[in-house]
Structure 1
Amino acid sequence: MKKLTRPRLPVPGLRSTLDKYLKSIQPFLLEDEAKTGVSYDAAHDQRVKWAQEFEHGIGKTLQSRLDDLNRASPHNWLEDNFWTNCAWLDGRSPLPVNSNWWLALFNDDTVPLDARQHGPNWITPWQVRRAAWMTHRVLEFKERLLSQELHPNTTRTGLWVRDSTSNMFNIARVPRTNRDTISTPPPPSNPTSRNVLVMLHNQLYAINAYPNSEDVHLPPAHLERALIDVVNDAQARLDRDEETAPVGILTADNRDVWAKNLEHLLSLSSTNHRIHDIINNSIFLLCLDPFTHDASSNQATSSPISVDTPNEINSHLHNIRSGGINGQNRWFDKAFTLILESNTRAGAQGEHAPCDALVPSIVTEYACVESIDSSAFPEDIQTSLEGRVGPRSDGLASLPWERLDWVVDDHIRKECIEAEMRATELLADSDDAVLWFDEYGTQWIQSVTRLSIDAYVQMALQLAFYRIRGEFSATYETALTRSFDRGRTETIRSYTTESRAFVLGMQDPSVAATTKFNLLSQAVRAHTSLTRLAATGKGIDRHLLGLRLLLRSEELEDTSGMLLKDELFARSQEWKLCTSGLSAGSYFRGTGFGAMYPDGYGINYMSGPDLIKFGVESKKSSPATSTAELHQEIAQALRDMQSVCLQGMPAAQSHM
């Protein structure tokens, strides 16, 4: 069957983008008029004039350059030239919280409850078994994808998944001064391409998951045996008080600082060059945490845990996000990392630059959708619910694995200490928690209101934010441009004239329920239209970004025209609300990413039939934000919106 191809991402028409931009700033102008008395009409007319000047002046030149660049780009004018650098690799902030995404998975019910309730401060047998099983599942996904057993390239979804996962495995972000790079995936013939990287107690190991074939990985029992060997080796080193510098903590630092430290580290020995290559080339990273994190005490705990309580779930989320409280036992540059705590809690995190979080979430869901299959492990392998993993006589030969020992000096040791101090401060400021709203979900929204689910949730976020702050904010929602070759994302500007009218109507007790429902419906329709435009390559922000980046400052073009210098141009992109919907999240306890602004929120949500989960991150240092307060307002907004729908919908619709 003939392989499908995906179309190229279009370059939108300049006039079309300017018209959509002018519409997007209308709610800001209306709010300015209401609060400061500045005439909406005068302010709007001024922006229309600037847009016309831009269209017929420098904008025309920039659009021509963008068209030329598009023709010269092999795949995608945005991704080939701008996006990855501007959105991710140019950033100098530490990766934890600021750039990396995180997913906390549901527990495996085949693991005895007693093991899930206790997290001794060392690696546990059930932790190793679940790690081996999930590693097997990830490798199985990768193999089935390559063989086209999953997501064949005869479908557009298959093309997108296969192209995207190629940016998830055998790859990592590499620090460089001013702008990072992404490592080049090794060819299958390179032995390091077959490794699964393992990290525990800040020690690194490489396990050859494909010692006999490039196509078939080690079975789960053999992976478990290899992990046991690694755990025993790490324990023996600790028993001998051997020094292990926590080099991984350097990846949690400012990117320029890490770039400088990596350069020094590589200068010390060719061994370090080889280790760094192995890290970058490995399929993915598996972190075995020798502890279970407790958010209430902000430390490891060996006390009994109340499973599936809010504190327990948030404790899990915090550890997946950042390695407990100090960023230890992680290599944040790696594109995909599986993490298991000593009580078998599992999750994933990764670096955003190579691919967006939806892609690894698909892989991670596959990894945990099937519980541990006991038949995949020899019957005579016994696991103890207490104590450490120990040597076992199970008939399995020792398998190929390698300990990776850095060559370090006093400078690197000192930098590790200082990097940990900075990481601890960064993580302490991150106010990260998940809200499980279980009063209704997509089933009720879809069957009763007949409104777009995603737009409905976005309106709840608009209402909740306004109730906390008494003001509106530019709002970013991620739209996928997956139908295009190498398509990634576009911005949905969720703050609209219609959403503003809906929020103000909800705040006015004199407005009738029927009117409020009509305002909600209008806001939802406006948002749905913007979503459709963004997903089909007709959004605003990526086009404007491309135009701005083609300005030639040496020709003083950056001083031409007022449109791009308008303070409202910048304000309309200050995403104090940065949001993204994922999937229904049936296998995820919580998700998250960091706020874009110190006084903003990062919100990832998963809308299920009867449960909507909101992962919210903000900064404790900001007096303007509170994750707990936003949780409360989101829940209340959803209750109030349901009430408005039930009271204000037309009678015929409410009885459908």
Structure 2
Amino acid sequence: MTSALTLPRLPVPDLHQTLQKYFQSLDPLLLEDEARGGPKFAEARRVRETWAENFERGIGRVCQERLIALDKASPTNWLDDNFWLKKAYHEWRAPLIVNSNWWLAFHNDPTVPLDVILGRRRTIGAVEITDWQVRRAAWLVRRTLEWKARLERQHDQTGITRAGIWLQDTAAKMFNVSRLPQTGCDTLSTIPPCTDPGARKVLVMLHDWFYAVEVLDEHMQMLPPDEIERRLLAVVADADGRLKRGEKATAVGVLTTDDRDRWAKNLRYLLSLSPSNHDILNTINHSLFALSLEHYTYVLPSTTPSTAGSPLPAPNTVPELTAHLHNVRSGPTPRPGHNRWYDKAYTLVVETNTRAGALGEHSPCDALVPSIGAEYAVVEGIDEDAFPPLSDEEGMPCLKSVSGWERLEWLVDERVRRECAEAEERVRAIVEDSDDGFLCFTDYGTEWIKNEARLSPDAYIQMAMQLAWYRACGCFTATYETALTRLFKNGRTETIRTLTADSRAFVLAMVNPQSTPQTRQSLLRRAVQTHTNLTRHAATGRGIDRHLLGLRLLLDASAGERHDLFDDELFTRSQTWKLSTSGLSEGHQFRGTGFGAMYPDGIGINYMAAPHLIKFGIESKYSSQLTSTEGFITAITEALADMKSTCIIAISHL
């Protein structure tokens, strides 16, 4: 019996209300321009009001009618069926690595011995993989499959919530799919039918070789964990033999780190070399997800071991966690992009000491969804009863009789090898410029913000980032926060414009030594309330940025249609998100997270707010004169401390 509950369509927002909200979002920029000697606020605002009034009476009304008609003709809604994937992701030509992919570092598995985590466990043969590494990889694969099956079973349950329906529909898009490079605009591979053999496989990468491992049987039922482990060990044994024979893989996966048009050109050439290359690409695209087995545990070049006899730094120290995040993001900085397929929607990455994480391609679904699946996979440690005892014997286990896996051997030539080498040089420049770090703020978390300060935690953290940016950079900037439109069928995201006149007033009060704690707290409350209202509007389909995008794209340029509203430099500046932010769950199972800055002189921040701590993944560019990850870490720490002090003093005087 299936649930009759369905999700509504994403609405087309009211044109007049969108324009009014748009005005308000410009206020902090106009006020700042005036404060720095630019046009008077009232005059500059009136110009924009006049443009908007003209737009609403004229071509804007026509575009709104077109948008409504487009929505009626669209299977799901006007945004997702027509614009979103292309404009948000697939038309972007920049390399995915750092710029678009997101990354997560998992907590260590509590069942893994400390000696393994410290790097003291022997590696197997020439392949330099550890048995515990393979075991954890098998367990994470199995747990991920369990989460997928659990979501699919909910289709047969009554009483499912709207949030559950949204999660089901959205999570289905992270499996059995890859992004495909095409000149000018990428696309997504088609989801294979369950009868397709590739739909039962996981893509495994080891020493830059590609393998396909069946993890579901012919009835689409999960294989037991020990059988998944056996098949992974068979892959390891095969790679070991290849290495001992002196073979070396061509790092075809590095091509996926390149500029999208260049990768599209190289892929066309690669496919022209042999029909077998077509088959390999289909297997990669149709596979459930990917697994990268690393033959190392990455250590930052400047790091020294913290304990005698251990080749690795102590767990959960800053150098150790930074190295882990860097490896999940891109692999070792001196040799980035190897052993990955960056087009794959979801990739598990497991190092020799069992450190694990996930890497994701953003376009099929937003990072929150695979992070929910990752949390399910990690929350339960390895069930040792599900596996045979590990052997202390040296050497490679004999697994020649194990079936259910296959090599994916690319046919390459000298041109492909040359392109791989050149792509590696280009990606190295990207990775070396990526200033990627993290902050684990432990002084307080959401519990104090809610119960003592009596404020919305997310809005409070957003105000802290506004204050930190201003102190670190000496200016204000348009700020993006992700809001999920999960109330709607196929809902993706909407923008919350964190920079408001109220957030600006709060920040200026915090940097004004003459301002009292009572004034600062009052302005903080107002800014938080404004942000909370914007969040509610965005989540309920009443945001402005997606609507403005749709209206602008429905102008008929061939007929000479344009408008001052969209030609205004302030329209562009209000959407230049130098500070790009997104919150995940409380993140109890994650050590860190991250995504890249949207602009060369910007900052990308992924944060996880728990009751007693807040984790920030922060990425900027070393080449930027405006930003510094280390400087921003200091600025956020100081902002959070100052805001708490302000609230405590103000409350004590009530």
- 1:491 pairs, out of 489, 495, 508, with 495
Structure 1 equivalent of residue 521 of structure 2: 517
For 1:546-561, list aligned pairs within 5 A. Answer: 546-558=550-562, 561=563
Q: What stretches of structure 1 move > 3 A for 4+ residues in a row?
A: 149-153, 296-302
- Once residues 218 and 410 of structure 1 are traced to their aligned partners in structure 2, the CA distance between those partners, rounded to angstroms, is 40
- Once residues 15 and 3 of structure 2 are traced to their aligned partners in structure 1, the CA distance between those partners, rounded to angstroms, is 36
Structure 2 equivalent of residue 378 of structure 1: 388
For 1:139-288, list aligned pairs within 5 A. Answer: 139-148=145-154, 154-214=160-220, 216-288=221-293
Structure 2 equivalent of residue 647 of structure 1: 649
Contact 1:130 1:372 in 2 (8 A): yes
Please tell me whether residue 117 in structure 1 is matched to residue 118 in structure 2.
yes
Structure 2 equivalent of residue 415 of structure 1: 419
Structure 2 equivalent of residue 23 of structure 1: 24
Stretches of structure 2 that go unaligned for 5 or more consecutive residues are: none
Structure 2 equivalent of residue 313 of structure 1: 321
> Offset of 1:488 from its aligned partner?
0.3
> Offset of 1:155 from its aligned partner?
1.5
Structure 2 equivalent of residue 92 of structure 1: 93
- Once residues 600 and 305 of structure 2 are traced to their aligned partners in structure 1, the CA distance between those partners, rounded to angstroms, is 28
Q: Deviations over 1:271-307 (max 9, x none)?
A: 0000000000000001001111112449999823211
Structure 2 equivalent of residue 469 of structure 1: 473
Please tell me whether residue 598 in structure 1 is matched to residue 585 in structure 2.
no
Contact 1:3 1:153 in 2 (8 A): no
Rate the CA distance shift 1:336–1:447 in 2: closer, same or farther, 3 A. same
Rate the CA distance shift 1:6–1:300 in 2: closer, same or farther, 3 A. farther
For residue 461 of structure 1, what is the amino acid of its counterpart?
M
- 2:134 pairs, out of 128, 135, 142, with 128
Structure 1 equivalent of residue 8 of structure 2: 7
For residue 575 of structure 2, what is the amino acid of its counterpart?
Q
Please tell me whether residue 398 in structure 1 is matched to residue 402 in structure 2.
yes
Please tell me whether residue 330 in structure 1 is matched to residue 340 in structure 2.
yes
- Once residues 3 and 332 of structure 1 are traced to their aligned partners in structure 2, the CA distance between those partners, rounded to angstroms, is 38
Moved more, 137-146 or 114-123: 114-123
SS in 2 for 1:339: strand
Contact 2:313 2:319 in 1 (8 A): no
- Once residues 625 and 511 of structure 2 are traced to their aligned partners in structure 1, the CA distance between those partners, rounded to angstroms, is 23
Contact 1:292 1:300 in 2 (8 A): no
SS in 1 for 2:480: strand
SS in 2 for 1:230: helix
Please tell me whether residue 290 in structure 1 is matched to residue 300 in structure 2.
no
Q: Deviations over 1:425-481 (max 9, x none)?
A: 110100001100001111111110110000000000000000011100000000000
For residue 328 of structure 1, what is the amino acid of its counterpart?
H
Stretches of structure 1 that go unaligned for 5 or more consecutive residues are: none
> Offset of 1:213 from its aligned partner?
2.6
For residue 55 of structure 2, what is the amino acid of its counterpart?
F
> Aligned pairs, how many?
643
TM-score (norm 1): 0.96
For residue 230 of structure 2, what is the amino acid of its counterpart?
R
For residue 313 of structure 1, what is the amino acid of its counterpart?
L
For residue 324 of structure 1, what is the amino acid of its counterpart?
P
- Once residues 127 and 248 of structure 1 are traced to their aligned partners in structure 2, the CA distance between those partners, rounded to angstroms, is 22
SS in 1 for 2:332: helix
Moved more, 76-85 or 240-249: 240-249
- Once residues 52 and 153 of structure 2 are traced to their aligned partners in structure 1, the CA distance between those partners, rounded to angstroms, is 51
- Once residues 392 and 174 of structure 2 are traced to their aligned partners in structure 1, the CA distance between those partners, rounded to angstroms, is 33
- Once residues 153 and 306 of structure 1 are traced to their aligned partners in structure 2, the CA distance between those partners, rounded to angstroms, is 47
Rate the CA distance shift 1:312–1:512 in 2: closer, same or farther, 3 A. same
- Once residues 191 and 5 of structure 1 are traced to their aligned partners in structure 2, the CA distance between those partners, rounded to angstroms, is 32
Rate the CA distance shift 1:151–1:158 in 2: closer, same or farther, 3 A. farther
SS in 2 for 1:280: helix
- 1:577 pairs, out of 569, 579, 598, with 579
- Once residues 514 and 147 of structure 1 are traced to their aligned partners in structure 2, the CA distance between those partners, rounded to angstroms, is 53
- Once residues 522 and 103 of structure 1 are traced to their aligned partners in structure 2, the CA distance between those partners, rounded to angstroms, is 34
Rate the CA distance shift 1:15–1:580 in 2: closer, same or farther, 3 A. same
For residue 367 of structure 1, what is the amino acid of its counterpart?
A
SS in 2 for 1:148: helix
- Once residues 536 and 15 of structure 1 are traced to their aligned partners in structure 2, the CA distance between those partners, rounded to angstroms, is 17
- Once residues 517 and 62 of structure 1 are traced to their aligned partners in structure 2, the CA distance between those partners, rounded to angstroms, is 43
Structure 2 equivalent of residue 77 of structure 1: 78
> Offset of 1:650 from its aligned partner?
6.2
> Offset of 1:241 from its aligned partner?
1.2
Identity among equivalent positions (%) equals: 54
> Offset of 1:552 from its aligned partner?
1.1
SS in 2 for 1:294: coil
- Once residues 542 and 238 of structure 2 are traced to their aligned partners in structure 1, the CA distance between those partners, rounded to angstroms, is 55
> Offset of 1:392 from its aligned partner?
5.0
For residue 67 of structure 2, what is the amino acid of its counterpart?
L
Contact 2:299 2:312 in 1 (8 A): no
- Once residues 349 and 171 of structure 1 are traced to their aligned partners in structure 2, the CA distance between those partners, rounded to angstroms, is 14
- Once residues 340 and 3 of structure 2 are traced to their aligned partners in structure 1, the CA distance between those partners, rounded to angstroms, is 43
> Offset of 1:313 from its aligned partner?
0.5
- Once residues 278 and 119 of structure 2 are traced to their aligned partners in structure 1, the CA distance between those partners, rounded to angstroms, is 39
> Offset of 1:382 from its aligned partner?
2.3
SS in 1 for 2:489: coil
SS in 2 for 1:115: helix
Rate the CA distance shift 1:53–1:31 in 2: closer, same or farther, 3 A. same
> Offset of 1:58 from its aligned partner?
1.2
SS in 1 for 2:173: coil
